[in-house]
Each structure stands twice: as C-alpha cells, then as structure tokens.
Amino acid sequence: MTREEVFELLGRLELGEVRAASKNEAGDWSPNTTVKEGILAAFRMGVDVESIAGPFSFRDRDTLPPRRPLPNGVRVVPGGTSIRRGAYVAKGVIVMPPAYINVGAYVDEGSMVDSHALVGSCAQIGKRVHLSAAAQIGGVLEPVGAVPVVIEDDVFVGGNTGVYEGVCVRQRAVLAAGVILTASTVVVDLARGMELRSTAARPLVIPEGAVVVPGMRPAPGEYAKAAGLSIAAPLIVKYRDAKTDAKTALESALR
C-alpha cells in the first residue's frame, strides 16, 4: 500500500464508504481485513510530527508544568494528555489521550499507556507493560518512605483495573479487567492454594506470571454468614500460558 492509498482509505472511512467490520445476513460481524491492513499501514508508514494545542489554556503550579519539549522518541497522541515535570517516559512509549503521568513516575521502554489511564506519582512501570484503558496506577508520594506501586516488565494491566498503595506486580503477570489491588486486598492463589496479603514490612506482591481475575470470598463474621455476604478477593486462577499470551498480545504495528 502507498501513502496515497492509505490517505484515500482514511478518507473513505471518514465518509462511511468503507468500514472495518461488517455484518452478514445472519447478524454476525466479521472484520474487513483489507481495511484493517490499511489502518495498520497508516501506523507503519506514518512519521512522528509534533503538534501544539494552541487554543487550550490551563492553570497550574509554575513549579510543575507539563514537560516541554517532549521526551525524545515518545509519541503523545493529541488530546487531554499530560506528562508532568519530573516524570520519566522512555523511548518507544505510547500515551493515548487522555492519560496523565504524574511527577516521579517512571515508564520504561515500549510500554503503552492507554486512554484514561493514570500513572500516579512515583509509580514505576517496567518495559513493554500494557496499561489498558482506564487502568489506574495509584500515586504514592507520602509518607516519603512508602514504596510506590511497581509494575514490572511485560505485565498486562487490563481495563478498569486499579493498583494502589505500594502493591508490586511481578514480571509477566496479568491483571484481568476490573481487578483492584490495595495494601488491604487479600488475593487468593487458587493455583497454589494460598492467600497473599501485605504485611507491615512487605507490600502485597503479585507473583511472576500470575493471572489475576476479580473474585469474592465469604465475608467474615456471623452476620455476614447469615446474610450470605461476600467480600472482594481477587483470584489467581492460573499462571500465564500460551492462551494468555495470545489474549494479551499487542499489535506491533501500533507501536
């Protein structure tokens, strides 16, 4: 495909003349692979250009403005996105709008920060991490001794997840959509038959390669038992396998 053909396709998509998927007579949807290939070609053929949000105005502390110029080699897609002074964002990171990367955060090479994602102050994000749409990585500024949230290399953080209060997610773990982890969360490892909790000395640690999904356990106490109540307890249903890899694989052309 040439650049001209890519632009023509984008124009036709905008006019609704072609679609990326279509419905058959039985009501089932199937992708239009040619269109999708064209969209991927648009990523591949595109070159990074900087643009300025001229008409927008903001007001904030003069000590912590958004970083300018942008860190080298980082693509920031136009929208309500900001990388605050004091945040490190490595080469190859993609930040989709709107997203916010707060002071002290570290986002390593090749990671994706999707729309509505927050990388809170001081959060440490490894290489090739995928922070899905609306993933919230909490900031830990105070007390100064408190460990920040850590997301190690190759972790997949699903949509609408929340990781707060110094929780550490080890390499290659997968947090399914909707998992919430705080320092008080009890995680039950069904694969290894054990509970994981934080202690005063050690934050909650999600083991390497764990696949964590939202779950419940019986709420403690007689009242809860009588009323049949449950309390949230994310579950490790298994350790990452080829199926998980396939589900969480990322489109290399998007990077």
Ligand X SMILES: CC(C)(COP(=O)(O)OP(=O)(O)OC[C@H]1O[C@@H](n2cnc3c(N)ncnc32)[C@H](O)[C@@H]1OP(=O)(O)O)[C@@H](O)C(=O)NCCC(=O)NCCS
The binding site for ligand X (CB under 6 A) comprises 114, 132-133, 158-159, 174, 176-177, 211, 213-214, 237-238, 243-244, 247-248
CB of 120 to ligand X, least distance (A): 19
Strands 174-175 and 205-206, by their bridges, are unpaired
Nearer to ligand X by Cβ, of 10 and 133: the residue is: 133
Q: What are phi and psi of 95, to 5 degrees?
A: -120, 115
Nearer to ligand X by Cβ, of 29 and 56: the residue is: 29
* Alpha helices by DSSP H, 98-253: 222-227, 242-248
CB of 99 to ligand X, least distance (A): 12
CB of 170 to ligand X, least distance (A): 16
Nearer to ligand X by Cβ, of 132 and 198: the residue is: 132
Strand partners, 94: 75, 112
Q: To 5 degrees, how large is the angle CA 8–CA 9–CA 12?
A: 90
Kind and range of the H or E element at 191? none
CB of 89 to ligand X, least distance (A): 19
Residue 94, SS3?
strand
Classify residue 33 as exposed, middle or buried by CB count within 10 Å of its CB (0-12, 13-18, 19+). exposed
CB of 232 to ligand X, least distance (A): 13
- Other C-beta atoms closer than 10 Å to the C-beta of 64 total 13
Nearer to ligand X by Cβ, of 91 and 247: the residue is: 247
Nearer to ligand X by Cβ, of 6 and 131: the residue is: 131
- Residue corresponding to tokens 């199926």: 243
Written as six digits, the tokens of 161 are: 């997840």
Nearer to ligand X by Cβ, of 102 and 248: the residue is: 248
CB of 18 to ligand X, least distance (A): 24
Edge-first strand listing for the sheet containing 88-89: 88-89, 106-107, 124-125, 150-151, 168-169, 205-206
* Alpha helices by DSSP H, the chain: 3-14, 33-45, 222-227, 242-248
Nearer to ligand X by Cβ, of 96 and 122: the residue is: 96
CB of 59 to ligand X, least distance (A): 31
